[in-house]
Structure 1
Amino acid sequence: MHQIDAQSLIDPTALSKSAVAVVARLCENNHSAFIVGGAVRDLLLGKRPKDFDVATDATPEQIVALFRGARIIGRRFQIVHVRMGREIIEVTTFRGHHGGDTSKIAAKSNKGLLLRDNVYGTLDQDAARRDLTINALYLDPLQHLILDDLNGIEDIKKRTIRIIGDPAGRYREDPVRMLRVARFAAKLGFSVDPATQEAIGECRHLLADIPSARLFDEAIKLFMSGHAAETFEQLRRHDLLETLFPEAVDALDLEGAQELITQAMKNTDGRIARDKPVTPAFLFAALLWPAVALRSDEIVRAGNADGSPVNAAGQEILARSLQRVSIPKRFSIPMREIWELQPRLDKCSPKRAKSILALRRFRAAFDLLLLRRDQDEELSGAVKFWEEQQQLFPEIVGSQPPTEIPKKRRRPRRRKPEQ
């Protein structure tokens, strides 16, 4: 491994004392250990990382034996969480190449997708197994050295996102890496290496093989990390958005649709930057609203307007979206409530104003109305009406109790007949 003096490159006060202590204890017990990945990258960029990961040649069982309260988590990749005070340090064993260790098998699907991967190896193999060059950096905080065999530091200087190895082959192993390329390009403001970008066009269809629950987890990382607006642009640029939310893409040609979604993303980014609470429910509601509005118009034109067209459209769009991204009920129910309030907010009924103001989702629904008004001046009257109502009755806004999320009923266990 190529060794570089870290003292002139990083601020030692930005290091986590807990992470350094974990490395020190592992080394005291004859193991190799390093701070690795995003923390090293961010230190080189002059940032103060919030999360620190450690990589070591110790197995999960050996790590657990050294730290009280440590526990092994994960099945696809086994990780050890080591609690140090209030901090949790994620410790992983060096990954190896497939096929070398018969006691720990790396399971693949028939399409090359890694299903389970606990093959242990050397430091060099671990570096080659990581996804991006900028994340394959190893910091020895005791010797003040950075180990870099894949030109990660050079790519940081060039502000370039580059997949390690053959991009198409690495995407086939784990198609989610394509989403990580887009996310890091947005987060860091880096450009994407041409070969890394070209292979996305060849492999983006493989995201259809990823479980919908995992795609939801990735969607949260994409849109709730403070860089949603730029991430949205990156996903569109690489035609990845349609693999996650094809209904949103189909409605982007509607007048004002793209602007509404982008502004919702910017508003969310702003709240995160100010340490204010955010919810995926509102962001996903805004992302899919143009699709709901488009489908609602189609229902009206077809003469199938029994009940509320928006309600019917919302159910349909959500049902389709859940096939790709498994949005939990704690978010999907509020999304529908936000959509279903839009026609009621449009009507500006003084008689029903108090009951609407009291609804738990009123504030979020009103925020969506504001976004709609920015694209349609005819809604200015509705915005003014609800602003006045909120000033008149501030004490009742959103006062309704939370929506009860229905729980799955467990079937009673059948007793075996006595012999």
Structure 2
Amino acid sequence: MPAANARQAGTSPEPTRNIPTDGPATITSQAFPPAVSLRVIPRDQHNISRKDISPNALRVLYRLRDSGFAGYLVGGAVRDLLVGGHPKDFDIATDATPEQVKALFRNSRLIGRRFRLAHVVFGREIIEVATFRANVDDGSGDREQHEGGRLLRDNVYGTIEDDAVRRDFTANALYYAIEDFSVRDYVGGFEDVQARSMKLIGDPEQRYREDPVRMLRAIRLAAKLGFEIDPASAEPIARLAPLLSEAAPARLFEELLKLFLSGNAVASFEGLERFGLLPAILPETAAALASNRSGALRSMLLEGLRGTDARVANDEPVSPAFLFALLLWPAYCRALIGLQAQGVNAEEAQRRAADRVTLHQLGTVALPRRFSLPMQEIWLLQSRFSSRQRKRVMRLLAHPRFRAAYDFLLLRLTASSEHAEDVAFWREAQTQSGEELSAALGVAAPRDVYAEDDAAPPKRRRRRRRSGSAAPATE
């Protein structure tokens, strides 16, 4: 990169070096933090190929290079390509400022307040381009830090070396260079990827305090990649779990969707349990599972998450409403039992339990109403599956949430065989005509769809008052 451009972007040029072609080069600079060194892994010693990289990402990289800027494919895409995965997102790091990126690409827009960056839009694909960021604010940047150590805003630009050490995990601090197709490693991430290890850069406790959501991210990435969390990175998690209460509820909702809708829901849930984060993120579910001695609720939950993973693997949609109905079902059952023990009638107890669990969960995770209301419907419809009255059966079959509620009933069967009769009945009911269903219920088939009203007594015709007559006086 030309020195002039480096100064313009607020970065420093890379040190002059000779990179051998017969093996990785390790170069330590006095300007780096003591524990940071650059290792260059040449093309013949890694498996990343341009044919596996988004053509749009390559376009961005080449234009940055041709305009005198440094640009690297970075983060999850490099990590996933090294383990033979197929990344969906391709992020780029550069020494160009967000404004300079916007000037280069007419199809770009600037986003973010906490992290200012550029989105280069190619139809439905977005290439995220971020400027190298530094750890230390010399007064020229824009950084705001919470008293507890959490970063509220971080727009201090620096060099690629600065950028590497401020990333979260070593596996995410790998840079693919388009000019020689090498991988640049500043913090030992290449070895950690080979060893299948998720390791935080820097002091784990400090990094989690900067952003508590990193604890969830560690579990999600370990589940996705089949990695183990490095012991030093794992040790503070259970102790710092309460810090998640400081995270924005809307952000935690998005993180839960990533945890459970990325095809690794079972491993993610087990990770939350193993590292003590389940009580912090799903507190009432954690309490309900702990009190359920038979383990039936946990078995049902895991079976549902296995189904979720299967649907994701088959590229089938999964409703967040159904997901949260599953995740919060243990909490709902516990609340329902408590209300019924207080003498609340069944129907009222169901409504109050659904509202209580939803309200309490909203204190941690911002569950939108477009998902919380269908979630409650799935729960409340469960009690109707025991009915065999024709009118109620037909009404339930026509309910817009019937299929989701029935699928949920199938999951309940994995926890208790007492639902077998209901499952068998409703499986048949879905395949039968109205006459066949009536016969199965032991009632005569109605003459038409309004037959339920035929037996109702005729309405009295209201007597018309004669004009001029007055209402009787009252004493």
Which secondary structure does the structure 2 equivalent of 1:90 belong to?
strand
In 1, Cα distance between equivalents of 2:433 and 2:270 = 40
Task: Please point out which of 410, 414, 417 is paired with 1:374.
Answer: 414
Corresponding letter in the other structure for 2:305: M
Question: Which residue of 137, 152, 170 corresponds with 1:115?
Answer: 152
**Is the deviation greater in 349-358 or in 172-181?**
349-358
Aligned residue for 1:194?
Answer: 231
Describe how 1:225-240 pairs up with structure 2 within 5 A: 225-240=262-277
Residue 64 (structure 2) pairs with residue 31 (structure 1)? no
Match of 1:147 in 2: 184
Could you say what secondary structure the match of 2:161 adopts? helix
Matched, 1:313 2:348: no
1:39-50 superposed matches below 5 A: 39-50=77-88
Q: Specify the alignment match of 1:16 in structure 2.
A: 54
Q: TM-score, normalised by structure 2?
A: 0.81
Deviations 1:186-224 (A, max 9, x none): 111111111000021332111111111111111111111
Structure 1 residues 39-69: Cα deviation after superposition (integer angstroms, max 9, x where no partner): 0011111122221000000000000000012
Structure 1 residues 84 and 263: alpha-carbon distance in aligned structure 2, compared to 1, 3 A threshold: same
Matched, 1:74 2:112: yes
**Does the alignment pair 1:293 with 2:333?**
yes
Amino-acid identity (%): 46
CA distance in 2: counterparts of 1:149 and 1:307, whole angstroms: 61
Figure out how many residues of one structure are paired with residues of the other and give that number: 393
**Partner of residue 303 from structure 1, selected from 343, 347, 368:** 343
Give 1:85 deviation, angstroms.
Answer: 4.8
* TM-fit CA distance, 1:8: 4.1
1:415 maps to none
**1:293-372 counterparts in 2 under 5 A?**
293-305=333-345, 307-372=347-412
* Secondary structure of residue in 2 paired with 1:311: helix
What runs of 5+ residues in structure 1 fail to find an aligned partner?
A: 395-419
Is contact 2:165-2:201 (8 Å) kept?
yes
| 2:387–2:393 contact (8 Å) kept in structure 1 | no
Structure 2 distance, partners of 1:346, 1:373, is 14
Bigger CA drift: 304-313 or 179-188?
A: 304-313
Native 8 Å contact 1:57 1:123 kept in 2: yes
- What is the rounded CA distance, in whole Å, between the counterparts of 2:362 and 2:229 in structure 1? 30
Provide the residue aligned with 2:204 in structure 1: 167
Pick the aligned partner of 2:193 from 147, 153, 156: 156
SS in 1 for 2:106: coil
Does the 8 A contact of 1:7 with 1:144 survive in 2? no
Matches of 1:199 and 1:301 in 2, distance apart?
39
Instruction: Give the Cα separation in 1 of the matches to 2:346 and 2:267.
Output: 40
In structure 2, what is the Cα distance between the partners aligned to 1:141 and 1:341? Answer: 56
For the 8 Å contact 1:314–1:336, the answer to whether it is kept is yes
Matched, 1:277 2:277: no
Q: Following the alignment from structure 1 to structure 2, what is the Cα–Cα distance between the partners of residues 319 and 36?
A: 40
Alignment partner of 2:235: what SS? Answer: helix
Asked if structure 2 preserves the Cα contact closer than 8 Å seen for 1:80 and 1:90, the reply is: yes
8 Å contact 1:127–1:136 — kept in the other structure? yes
1:127 aligned partner, one-letter code: A
Question: In structure 1, the residue corresponding to 2:183 is in which secondary structure?
Answer: strand
SS in 2 for 1:239: coil
In 2, Cα distance between the equivalents of 1:279 and 1:65? 40
**Residues 230 and 377 of structure 1: is their aligned pair in 2 closer, same or farther, counting only changes over 3 Å?**
same
Structure 2 residue 137 is the aligned partner of structure 1 residue 99: yes
Report if the CA contact (8 A) 1:348-1:386 is conserved: no
Equivalent positions of 1:206-285 (< 5 A) are 206-252=243-289, 253-254=291-292, 255=294, 256-285=296-325
| Rounded Cα–Cα distance in structure 2 between residues aligned with 1:153 and 1:111 | 32
Distance apart, 1:35 and its partner CA = 0.3
| Equivalent position SS for 1:143 | coil
Aligned-pair RMSD on alpha carbons? 1.4
The aligned residue for residue 55 of structure 1 is 93
Distance 1:267 1:144 in 2: 40
Q: 1:239 offset after TM fit, Å?
A: 0.7
Deviation string 1:127-180 (CA, Å, 9 cap, x unpaired) is: 001101001000012311100011111111111110111000000100000001
SS for the counterpart of 1:368 is: helix
CA distance in structure 2 between the aligned counterparts of 1:17 and 1:7, rounded to whole angstroms? 22
Equivalent position of 1:408 in the other structure: none
Instruction: Letter of the 1:98 partner, please give it.
Output: V
**DSSP 3-state at the match of 2:115:** coil
Cα separation, partners in 2 of 1:122 and 1:144, compared to 1, 3 Å: same
TM-score normalised to the size of structure 1? Answer: 0.91
Q: 2:303·2:414 contact (CA, 8 Å) conserved in 1?
A: no
Q: Is the 8 A contact 1:248 1:288 kept in 2?
A: yes
Instruction: Give 1:306 shift.
Output: 6.8
The one-letter code matched in structure 2 to 1:161 is: M
Name the amino acid aligned to 2:421.
G
Q: Is the 8 A contact 1:226 1:273 kept in 2?
A: yes
In 2, are the aligned partners of 1:42 and 1:48 still within 8 Å (CA)? yes
Q: Which has the larger radius of gyration?
A: 2
Quick check: 1:132 aligned with 2:169?
A: yes
Retained in 2: the 8 A contact 1:94–1:120? yes
* Aligned twin of 2:128: 90
Distance in 2 (CA, whole Å) between partners of 1:347 and 1:306 is 14
Deviation at 1:348, TM superposition (A): 3.9
